[in-house]
Amino acid sequence: MAKRSPEAATDTSAAKITSLNRISLSEPDIDKSVSLLKQACLDSGFFYVVDHGIDKKLMEEVFAQSKFFFDLPLDEKMKLLRNKKSRGYTPTLDETLDPDNQISGDYKEGYYIGVEVSEDDPQAEKPFYGPNLWPPADLLPGWRETMEIYHKEALRVAQAVARIIARALDLDADFFDSPVMLGEPIATLRLLHYEGKITNPEKGIFGAGAHSDYGLLTLLATDDVIGLQICKDKDARPQVWEYVEPLSGAFIVNLGDMLERWSNGIFRSTLHRVILDGRERYSIAYFVEPSHECLVECLTTCKSETNPPKFPAVTCSAYLLQRYKDTHADLNSYNRPS
């Protein structure tokens, strides 16, 4: 059972809706976008991205196909239980994102889809590269094709956002475009379904426990059911949680731990969690990390003699492996259906 931290508890009924900057990818004035994004990264680490160019019908189809999968009987979903490459289905309670404050795992189920790499590709020997697990085409027609198209489109958007982030850090706009960065990324699409449960932070019950994301940035598309909360100051006691309102057609974007390390803590990897009010909730997260070999270390533009690096250098794969190990259940604890 988790060890509760009473000083972290808050009355979620009083949580307000936060205000976030909107970054338009069609804005002709790049300096305006850089300024808005930099302010957001310093303030909360969260912002909206609009005018991203992904067709509304594609977004709707991804949500529809996601629901088709999660509506399957549990035995069918468990045939696609996630593997050691972090591909496939994650059952309810599989992930515990805040073990100090949760009495059980997250009340959500998910499905991981990474960059497709064939078994005979040398890259497949690395922890986060390999073929995806796909539902049988006769069971869910068009499912794989929809997810593969969306995966590519989301990466395009993420790369565009990363170019604005680079400018905000006084780097060349193409800094994150290199193969070791986002040219050959560990980019993961994760479909998420929160069951119709009422969560209670006071009792350690969460849709998703408080956590920061692991990589460079995350693009999140949600349905219209509110539930995402952020804590802008993770060191405050008591913590103050604010809701992020869904915005139709937009991505909610947040920064990950690796960007906080790159920026020497200037840009925030912000705590967030999901609180449920009894309604089902669907979301689509797209996690963007650099390549397996990328060394994440303080950027030259973010350090000085009076502001030395705050974090030790670490490879992307080493950091991710540890975080996944810390938060996911042991695969050996599951019985896979034949």
pLDDT tens digits for range 269-282: 999 999 999 999 99
Residue 107 CA to its chain's centroid (Å): 16
Task: Return the pLDDT at 338.
Answer: 58
Domain boundaries, the chain: 6-329
pTM of the model: 0.93
The pLDDT of residue 3: 40
Q: What is the DSSP string of 54-75?
A: --HHHHHHHHHHHHHHHTS-HH
What's the pLDDT tens digit per position in 96-139? 999 999 998 999 999 999 999 999 998 888 888 899 999 999 99
* pLDDT, tens digit (0-9, with 9 covering 90-100), for 222-248: 999 999 999 998 888 888 999 999 999
21-74 tens-digit pLDDT: 999 999 999 999 999 999 999 999 999 999 999 999 999 999 999 999 999 999
Can you list the positions of beta strands (E) in the chain?
Answer: 22-24, 46-50, 88-90, 108-113, 186-194, 208-211, 217-222, 228-231, 242-243, 251-255, 271-274, 281-289, 295-296, 314-315
In tens, the pLDDT along 289-300 reads 999 899 999 999
CATH tag, 6-329:
2.60.120.330
